[in-house]
Amino acid sequence: MSESSRLSVLKTYKLYVGGKFPRSESGRVYEVADAKDTWLANVPLSSRKDARDAVVAARKAFGGWSGATAYNRGQVLYRVAEMLEGRKGQFAREVAQAEGLSTSEAALVVEAAVDRWVWYAGWTDKIAQVVGGANPVAGPYFNLSTPEPTGVVAVLAPQESSFLGLVSVIAPVIATGNTAVVVASERAPLPALSLGEVLATSDLPGGVVNVLSGKAAELGVPLAAHQDVNAIDLTGADPELARELEIAAADNLKRVLRPQDVRDTEEAGPDFAADPGLTRLTAFLETKTVWHPTGSLGASGSAY
């Protein structure tokens, strides 16, 4: 058979839930096209049941991931960056197709995304020192404040920035010990679904990150109303949807991160990897304050 007559093997994209790659339980798919409206792939159209399954997986993984040492989480995130580095070519192609960039521009975006992942990996064992500490009190006590992860975080990924924006919303959530249910960009989900393959072959425990493809409105509503979701990032929601989801999230007092810039830009360049700030690291942390007596009172080892 000549090379010209060979049919290429098209990639089958699947969801990433609980460390596995299921199709949507509904069996639905939708077509994804590139920036020139050329067909690229059929991807799963996730249902509400898929969203609930992803929350179950994230909750199951939360205890082990939040209980790991900050140093260990940093090592795991760095391993993910290593895996991304080895697949830069694939992600550059997918980003170029999704966002209409040239090959060189897409390569810069992917390199910036890897650098940003490393940046967040480096913060895992440092954030507690920055936002926690010993508090002055008028009495014979130690008063210590320490940050702890919020829990399961639903994330609506940016619609336009298919990879750098995606990394910008996922990495800080898991770096601080939370687990995530991510709704990928509806228009350009392929980099997110490929990221699931990287996470599965890294040291990240199954369920820490769960990736769904489909409609933000269809999946955002059950996630915002879910009683076992502790927080939601509305970055990928339009203003009308964001308002609806924020109202639904109030039912169980979820933390809400309103839509905001992920410090992405239209132009490829070194500024892509600029310091993204600590807002997303602290957005899904709770502060725990502990009192402990000092001096002769401390001999009993009591804590309040």
Could you write out the DSSP letters of every residue in 98-132?
Answer: HHT--HHHHHHHHHHHHHHHHHHHHHTTTHHHHH-
pLDDT tens for each residue of the chain, 304 residues long: 555 688 888 889 999 999 999 999 999 999 999 989 999 999 999 999 999 999 999 999 999 999 999 999 999 999 999 999 999 999 999 999 999 999 999 999 999 999 999 999 999 999 999 998 888 888 888 888 899 999 999 999 999 999 999 999 999 999 999 999 999 999 999 999 999 999 999 999 999 999 999 999 999 999 999 999 999 999 999 999 999 999 999 999 999 999 877 754 444 444 455 568 889 999 999 999 888 888 755 444 444 4
What pTM does this model have? Answer: 0.90
User: Among 133, 130, 132, which Cα is nearest to 147's?
Assistant: 132
Q: Which two tokens mark 62?
A: 């939360």
Q: Are 286 and 149 in contact (CB under 8 A)?
A: yes
Q: How far is CA 36 from CA 96, 159, 161, 170, 171, in A?
A: 11, 17, 17, 28, 30
**Cα 140 to Cα 142: distance, rounded to the nearest angstrom:** 7
Strand pairing report for 141-149 and 231-233: unpaired
pLDDT at res. 304: 41
Q: Do 216 and 189 form a contact (C-beta atoms < 8 A)? A: no
What tokens appear for 180 in the block?
Answer: 């995530």
- Domains present along the chain, CATH in parentheses: 14-31+40-300 (3.40.605.10)
pLDDT of residue 34: 92
Which one-letter amino acid corresponds to residue 74? G
Angstrom distance (rounded) from CA 130 to CA 12:
43
pLDDT at 276: 81
Q: Is 245 helix (H, G, I), strand (E, B) or coil?
A: helix
How far is the C-alpha of 271 from the C-alpha of 15, rounded, in Å?
32
pLDDT at position 266: 41
